[in-house]
């Protein structure tokens, strides 16, 4: 499910599936995307920051067109103890690899990978 910002609308709460992973997308070419993520973070329960949140930074292949300071993004990852992934959506092979990586993270966060917890996996991602 996709949302442009948080909080999610309350109507349909009873129909909403369990949330296993939240991926905040930040487009480094759009300063408002970072502001939107920062505003949305206040609506996430603290328990999600124990391995069930990550930041996906797009547009990294166009560093000359940055509107967002990379240090601001690194700081978000540090403050919220969440991994930061980088990708260039315009390159198919990187887009596919990123999607596969996110799918694996989701499988772990949903508890479908025996012996690996979301918290331990998040810790490994942050230290790699």
The pLDDT of residue 50 is: 83
The pLDDT of residue 47 is: 83
- pTM for the full model? 0.87
**11 lies in some domain:** no
CATH number at residue 58: 3.40.50.300
**90 lies in some domain:** yes
Residue numbers of the domain that contains 100? 19-127
**10 lies in some domain:** no
DSSP character at residue 18: P
**123 lies in some domain:** yes
**4 lies in some domain:** no
For the chain, residues with pLDDT lower than 50 are none
The 10s digit of each residue's pLDDT in 32-59 is: 999 999 999 999 988 888 889 999 999 8
The pLDDT of residue 102 is: 94
Q: For residue 59, what are its two tokens?
A: 């547009």
**23 lies in some domain:** yes
**Is residue 112 helix, strand or coil?**
coil
Number of domains observed in the structure of the chain: 1
Nearest to 41 by CA among 31, 51, 49: 49
The pLDDT of residue 57 is: 94
């Amino acid at each position: 499910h996709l949302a442009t910002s948080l909080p999610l609308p309350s109507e349909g709460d009873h129909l909403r599936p369990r949330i296993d992973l939240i991926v905040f997308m930040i487009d480094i070419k759009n300063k408002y995307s970072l502001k939107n993520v920062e505003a949305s973070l206040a609506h996430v329960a603290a328990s999600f920051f124990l391995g069930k949140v990550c930041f996906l930074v797009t547009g990294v292949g166009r560093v000359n067109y940055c509107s967002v300071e990379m240090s601001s993004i690194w700081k978000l990852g540090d403050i919220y103890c969440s991994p930061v992934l980088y990708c260039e959506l315009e390159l198919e092979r990187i887009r596919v690899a990123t999607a596969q990586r996110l799918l694996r993270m989701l499988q772990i966060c949903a508890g479908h990978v025996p012996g690996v917890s979301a918290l331990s996996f998040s810790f490994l991602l942050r230290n790699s």
